[in-house]
Amino acid sequence: MSKRVEKISSFKTFDNVDLVYRAWEPEVKKDGPKKALIVIHRGHEHSGRLIDLIDGINQPEFYAFGYDSRGHGKSPGPRGYAPSFAHIVKDLDTFVNFISKEYGIEMQNIFVVANSVGAVVCSAWVHDYAPQIRGMALAAPAFQVKLYVPAALPGCRLLDAIKHPAFISSYVKSKFLTHDPEEQKKYDSDPLITPDIAVNILVGLFDTGCRVVSDAGAIHTPTIVFSAGSDWVVSNKPQKQFFDGLSSKKKEYIVLDGFYHGVLYEKDKKVPFGHIHRFINECFAAPVESVDLVRADKEGYTFNEYEQLKKGEVSLFNKINYMIQVASMKTLGSLAEGIRVGYKYGFDSGISLDHVYKNKARGWLGIGQIIDYFYINAVGWKGIRARRVHIREALDYAIQDLIKQGRPVRIMDIGSGPGRYLLETAKKYEKNDVKVLLRDYSEANVNEGKAIAKELGVTNSEHMQADAFDPETYQKQSFRPNILIASGLFELFPSNEMVNKAIEGASAILEDKGYIVYTGQPWHPQLEMIAQTLPNREGEMWVMRRRTQKEMDQLFKRVGAKKIDMKIDQWGIFTVATATYDKK
């Protein structure tokens, strides 16, 4: 019987759903900063089953927390369902930030333990949101579920496309999770454990697992990974690939021979508990692990990837494939408006993006419209449109907060392109004291922005042709913002020196206690294809250097920005961060 006293409550997650959570105060109170252990339950399960794990890990001076994922335990929603896997990851981000604020526990004093599906959620969160936690323990992460039915994954994708939500029942029985008869009985008799899982979540789990494993180098968090030696549920190979790819200075990989998938509920669970206990102590005994990514444009993980892309060395199969794509785009593809605009102005140009934002297929001779439909619905462009939605949400938050404070709202986008989304926002708030400045280096973009403003009837906008990377241009302008936007701009330039000039120049004229909204592209599934097939605004091949979210956050933190929220699309491509600004 645990000595800890359990408190059950709820927190409101990012989309206003109330999720149930459990809190256990420390058994031993000590002076000094509070520390917390956050434990994430497996798929199908709930936080009511976590207390034995917390006691087993044996950190009596730590607060401990767990929550019921949406569609699980006592939390609401259809069993095993969420709108997307990204919702589940964002729920974790919301929960950890809630705990940090509610209990006064700094992020750097939080350690996360997660099993199976929960471990994929945790690793995706650390990858996408770059939280400054002390470390994480991942037990048998379900990066790749073993699907014993032939063509199960394509079948799930098809089912999800024609019926949403659709559900399947898990084949996983307690006898495949643990050798312990008592734990098997507990699992089988627990009414809150559901065998159901939504098909979109199963597909999202697979896609997210593949993404995180392939891009583990973006993670620097101290990590210990456990693989079950006799795992009938998930594959072990991706777990080792993930571990090998981690950029973390402190990391461990432990194979638990003979263990089934539910390693933290196994007969010999004291073994992983002991390792986690030791690893936590080591993490907290050492200074917070930090890495300076300001030079990531000159060395390291994404720099090496960028240099490889510039060389253009691809397999013969891919080379032929890309040549066919280019030939098709320059012939039949030219009937599609999006492709025509891309070749004329550059596929990364503001005018090209404006066509994508409109999300309306246009072309000639019928076939052109069909081609354009598939073009604007490529995953990267869908991510771009999701980014626009997230920017609008971030702007609404910042604008409404400044209005509540009784402050006039002045918004500046340092590289806006035509700026349709910002002009629509200006129109939305035209009855308030809200004005916007759209800056762009391109005369064509500035003129297009003026035309859109006229089309929308916007009267509270200014348009300026200026170089975002020239600090002097900011000092020369009379417009002084309290909301600064850097959207889709830095993704086009690999140099951090250039980006630092833009950030320092723009933030120098930003009001104290203002806001910064900045975007990032920590991952993209088509970097090689884009580099081989699409010209940029300069007429050269469009080769991008990704910036991990940790790198982006560091670049803005240097000038006094503190990230308070972040959003990411369901494919994990584009992020939108909101930061408060304290002038240094």
In-domain check, residue 238: yes
361 and 396 inside one domain: no
Q: Which runs of consecutive H residues, i.e. helices, occur in 140-253?
A: 152-162, 181-189, 199-214, 237-245
Residue 340 lies in a domain: yes
Rounded Cα–Cα distance for residues 118 and 265 (Å): 15
Q: For 522-532, what is the mean pLDDT?
A: 96
Q: Give me the domain span that covers residue 116.
A: 6-285
Asked if 129 and 567 touch (Cβ cutoff 8 Å), the reply is no
Identify which of 340, 347, 331 has the alpha carbon closest to the alpha carbon of residue 526. Answer: 347
Beta bridge partners of 562: 580
The residue-averaged pLDDT of 557-572 equals 97
Q: What is the pLDDT of residue 153?
A: 93
* Co-location of 144 and 275 in the same domain: yes
Are residues 86 and 100 located together in one domain of the fold?
A: yes
Contact (Cβ atoms closer than 8 angstroms) between residue 296 and residue 551: yes
Percent of the chain whose pLDDT exceeds 90: 93
Q: In this structure, is residue 366 part of a structural domain?
A: yes
Find the mean pLDDT for residues 210-221: 98
Which tokens in the block code for residue 52?
């034995």
424 and 488 in one domain? yes
Same domain, residue pair 315 and 421: no
What integer pLDDT is reported at residue 103 of this predicted model? 97
Q: List the one residue out of 543, 445, 422 whose CA is nearest residue 492.
A: 543
Q: What is the CATH number of the domain that holds 85?
A: 3.40.50.1820
Give the total number of structural domains in the chain.
3
Q: Which residue has the higher pLDDT, 584 or 486?
A: 486
Asked if the model's pLDDT at residue 583 lies above 90, the reply is no
Written as one letter, the residue type at 55 is D
Would you give the DSSP letter of residue 23?
E
CB 352 within 8 A of CB 341: yes
Evaluate whether 452 touches 421 at the Cβ level (below 8 Å).
Answer: no
Band (256; pLDDT cuts 50, 70, 90) = very high
CA distance 158 to 534: 30
pLDDT tens digits along 471-503: 999 999 999 999 999 999 999 999 999 999 999
Q: What are the E-state strand segments in 383-482?
A: 409-413, 434-440, 461-465
Same domain, 344 and 403: no
Q: How far apart are CA 412 and CA 401, in angstroms?
A: 17
Q: Are residues 408 and 490 in the same domain?
A: yes
- Residues 314 and 398 both lie in one domain: no
Give the count of beta carbons closer than 10 Å to the beta carbon of residue 341.
Answer: 20
Angle at 299 between CA 297 and CA 301, to 5 degrees: 90
**Residue pointed to by tokens 């593949």:** 210
Select from 261, 285, 309 the last residue of a domain: 285
> Is residue 180 a contact partner of residue 267, using CB atoms and an 8 Å limit?
yes
- Percent of the chain topping pLDDT 70: 100
pLDDT tens-digit profile of 124-152? 999 999 999 999 999 999 999 998 888 89
Verify that 360 and 237 share a domain, yes or no. Answer: no
Provide the CA 217 distance to its chain's centre, in angstroms.
15
Cis peptide before 165 (omega within 30 of 0): yes
- Residue 1's pLDDT band, with cuts at 50, 70 and 90, is low
- Identify the pLDDT of residue 551: 98
Could you give the CA distance from residue 220 to residue 216 in angstroms, rounded to a whole number?
9
Please tell me the distance from the alpha carbon of residue 390 to that of residue 398, in angstroms, as a whole number: 12
Indicate the average pLDDT of the chain: 96
Residue 390 contacts residue 569 (beta carbons within 8 Å): yes
Contact yes or no for 471/504 (Cβ under 8 A): yes
Has residue 573 got a pLDDT over 90?
yes
- CA distance linking residue 553 with residue 579, whole number of Å: 9
CA distances (Å), origin 415, targets 255, 278, 454, 583: 50, 49, 20, 22
Whether residue 1 is contained in a domain is answered as no
The residue among 195, 202, 194 whose CA lies nearest residue 170 is 195
* Token representation of residue 75: 């939390």
**CATH (domain of 518):** 3.40.50.150
Residue 108 DSSP class:
G
| Terminal-residue alpha carbon distance, the chain | 52
**What is d(CA 274, CA 58) in angstroms, rounded to the nearest whole number?**
9
Query: Using an 8 Å Cβ cutoff, are 302 and 548 in contact?
Result: yes
